[in-house]
Structure 1
Amino acid sequence: MHDIPDSRTEEADLRADIYALLAALLREPPSEALRQWLAGLEGEPDDIRLSQAWSRLAAAAADSDVERLERAHFRHLIGVIQGDVLPYASYYREGGLMEASLVALRRDLKALGIQRSADVSEPEDHLAAMCEVMAMLIGQNDQRAGSFFHRHLAPWASRCMHDLARVDTPFYAALGELATLFFQRESAILIDNTTLGTPVPGTSVHEDRGQALGAGE
Structure 2
Amino acid sequence: MDTQLEQEQTLRTEIYLVLSALFRGAPTSEMIEFLSSLEVEPSESAMQKAWLALQQAAKESNREALEDEYQDLFIGIGRGEVMPFGSWHMTGSIMEKPLAEIRHDLKLLGFERDENVKEPEDHIAALCEVMAMLTNEEETLQQTVFNKHLAPWFGSFTKQLENANNAKFYKPVAHLCDAFLTLEQVRFSVNTQSSKHKLKIDVKNVTDYE
Partner of 2:52: 55
Q: Percent identity?
A: 37
Partner of 1:171: 169
**Structure 2 counterpart of 1:31, which letter?**
T
Please say if 1:159 is aligned against 2:156: yes
Give CA deviations for 1:159-210 in whole Å, capped at 9, x if unaligned: 20121122343210110111011111110012599x98xxxxxxxxxxxxxx
**Structure 2 counterpart of 1:169, which letter?**
A
Which of 97, 101, 111 is the equivalent residue of 1:100?
97
Please say if 1:141 is aligned against 2:137: yes
- The alignment yields a C-alpha RMSD, in angstroms, of 2.1
How does the TM-score come out when normalised to structure 2? 0.85
**Structure 1 counterpart of 2:161, which letter?**
L
C-alpha distance in 2 between matches for 1:54 and 1:173: 11
- Give the CA deviation at 1:96: 0.1
**Structure 1 counterpart of 2:45, which letter?**
I
Secondary structure of 1:116's partner? coil
More relative contact order, 1 or 2 (CA 8 Å, 6+ apart): 2
Partner of 2:73: 76
**Structure 1 counterpart of 2:107, which letter?**
K
Give the unaligned 5+ runs of structure 2. 194-209
Please say if residues 158 and 175 of structure 2, whose CA atoms lie closer than 8 Å, have aligned partners that are also in contact: yes
Give the unaligned 5+ runs of structure 1. 197-216
Please say if residues 102 and 122 of structure 2, whose CA atoms lie closer than 8 Å, have aligned partners that are also in contact: yes
C-alpha distance in 1 between matches for 2:152 and 2:163: 20
Please say if residues 150 and 192 of structure 1, whose CA atoms lie closer than 8 Å, have aligned partners that are also in contact: no
Partner of 1:117: 114
Partner of 2:38: 41
Please say if residues 164 and 173 of structure 1, whose CA atoms lie closer than 8 Å, have aligned partners that are also in contact: yes
> Residues 159 and 125 from structure 1, CA distance in 2 versus in 1: closer, same or farther, beyond 3 angstroms?
same
- Give the CA deviation at 1:124: 0.5
Partner of 2:14: 17
Please say if residues 162 and 175 of structure 2, whose CA atoms lie closer than 8 Å, have aligned partners that are also in contact: yes
- Give the CA deviation at 1:73: 0.5
